[in-house]
Amino acid sequence: MGACCNGDVSSLPHSYDAVSARDLRPSKHVHDNLHGNIYLDNLSLKFIDTEQFQRQVRDFVFFVQLLRELKQLGLANMVYPGAVHSRFEHSLGVYWLAGQSIEMLKNFQGLELGINRFDMQTVKLAGLLHDIGHGPFSHLFEREFLPKVTNGSQWSHEQMSVNMVDYIVNEHHIDVDPEMIKRVKEMILASSEFTLPRSSTEKGFLYDIVANGRNGIDVDKFDYIARDCRACGLGCNFEFQRLLETMRVLDDEICYRAKEYLSIHKLFSTRADLYRTVYTHPKVKAIELMVVDALVQANDYLEISSHILNPSEYWKFCNEYAVPKDMVENFKKVTAQDIVCSQKSGGGTLREEDVAVSNVKIDLTRGKHNPLESINFFKDYDSDEKFTISNDRVSHLLPTTYQDMIVRVYAKKPELVEAISDAFENFQLKTYGIKAQVHSTPEKKKCRYTACI
């Protein structure tokens, strides 16, 4: 990383003086099991060495775990014991890959693009701080718990990351250029708010690196896909290094060499596989639903109990089905009320509070669309023309649809597993006219009072 200190000094922003070669010079390194040695610059260390980045704190009126104690995959380690890596490691990994990305672009197009030390430091800080706003239990806190207790108000870990950046700077009096922090926050929000006005309309390609709202290819995915596959013992045939080495900026947008379209397809397909087999594993979701109930009950005090994962109280997985592909687009989420109302005549024993439903969507980041449709490629380094690649040029083996919707139903009481399974089957018959269950519920699952892991 030493070469990053030799930046071009032409066309520097007014705030460039705040970024000296000393700021970017590596002063410490840590050894990461994915990337090897990660070299940390002085300014980034000022953020890393805060209690907010290092360990549990209480801030912003709720309990936040940052970042060493916050597992990257939430409760997935209950099924995949190796999935105990934290967002601390992931954040360092994204910091490193963000630095590698912009250094690659600087080495090959630095003069053309006007990349300077200010840009390099900004992108690296955005990578380092992009996940600092996550709450306890990872995405569960944001997607499952908060909607139940906030009456529909919008909250995102990206926005909380932005709030946390400001808090850390003010709390620890970190000497950092305000313009740099402004752009760091914009880059953190880029994945969800790509169309928002930015402080600078120049160098828009910088916003493609950490959280890419343009087409979904960013170093955040590069790191978590490779890291999560390794932690869970799954194979990963996606090689992010190939994309880092061949990317190029055309018309202020990061584009990729056409030869790498299959590498990009592997990126999205591997991510979809992780969603299917790890992130939304039915047993993982069962444990998450139980934890959400505990969090809701504790909401008045916002205390996270270390004893909530009692194996004798795990919810039981009843069954699941995949929504027929011709009905996915207009799919309406299944609720506990839907299942209760589908009891067979004469039943009438189930209540909504006995049933939990998980509606799981798995796609390739672009909903019903092929993600390659929004990615621009170039033929070779002598060409300035960018173009998209149509489906028929990629492979005739591509799927005809790019998203799945899976409905899973759980019983909160083991003695109700059979009744809920029957009601779920009846719901499918009423809704689709078919018996669409993928699994049958074994007899031993209907009466066993232990965790189904």
Pair (232, 158) in one structural domain = yes
pLDDT at site 39: 93
Let me know if residue 49 belongs to a domain. yes
Pair (229, 358) in one structural domain = no
Domain boundary among 257, 278, 299: 278
Let me know if residue 106 belongs to a domain. yes
Let me know if residue 271 belongs to a domain. yes
Better-scored residue on pLDDT, 304 or 26: 26
Pair (258, 327) in one structural domain = no
- CATH number for the domain spanning 24: value is 1.10.3210.10
Pair (354, 259) in one structural domain = no
pLDDT at site 411: 85
Pair (261, 316) in one structural domain = no
Q: List Cβ neighbours of 108 (8 Å cut-off, separation of 6 or more).
A: 248
Better-scored residue on pLDDT, 350 or 295: 350
Pair (325, 250) in one structural domain = no
- Over range 89-110, report the average pLDDT: 94
Identify the bridge partners of residue 249 per DSSP, sorted by sequence position: 254
pLDDT single digits (tens) 143-192: 777 777 776 556 677 887 888 888 889 888 999 999 999 999 999 988 76
Pair (68, 199) in one structural domain = yes
Burial of 153 (0-12, 13-18, 19+ CB in 10 A): exposed
Pair (204, 252) in one structural domain = yes
Per the structure block, which two tokens stand in for 31?
């050894």
- Over range 123-142, report the average pLDDT: 83
pLDDT more than 90, % of the chain: 27
Pair (274, 317) in one structural domain = no
pLDDT single digits (tens) 347-405: 568 888 888 888 888 887 777 777 778 888 888 888 888 888 877 666 655 666 777 88
- Residues spanned by the domain of 104: 2-278
Domain boundary among 278, 297, 320: 278
Let me know if residue 288 belongs to a domain. no
Instruction: Say if residue 306's pLDDT is above 80.
Output: no
Domain boundary among 235, 258, 278: 278
pLDDT at site 185: 93
pLDDT single digits (tens) 213-241: 888 899 999 999 999 999 999 888 888 99
Whole-number Å distance between alpha carbons of 431 and 338: 10
Let me know if residue 381 belongs to a domain. no
Let me know if residue 394 belongs to a domain. no
Contacts 24+ apart (CB under 8 A), 31-35: 32/89, 32/92, 32/93, 32/96, 33/230, 34/89, 34/93, 34/223, 34/226, 34/227, 34/230, 35/93, 35/96, 35/97
Pair (267, 352) in one structural domain = no
Asked if residues 197 and 231 have their Cβ atoms less than 8 Å apart, the reply is no
pLDDT single digits (tens) 420-434: 888 888 888 888 776
Pair (206, 323) in one structural domain = no
Q: Is the pTM of this model over 0.75?
A: no
Let me know if residue 290 belongs to a domain. no
Query: CA 265 from chain center: how many Å?
Result: 18
Q: List Cβ neighbours of 426 (8 Å cut-off, separation of 6 or more).
A: 342, 343, 344
Neighbours of 21 (CB within 10 A): 11
Whole-number Å distance between alpha carbons of 65 and 86: 11
Known catalytic residues are: 157
- CATH number for the domain spanning 327: value is 3.30.70.2760
Our count of domains for the chain comes to 2
Among 309, 397, 329, 395, which Cα is nearest to 79's? 309
Among 77, 126, 120, which Cα is nearest to 100's? 120
Pair (225, 330) in one structural domain = no
Let me know if residue 372 belongs to a domain. no
Whole-number Å distance between alpha carbons of 273 and 279: 9
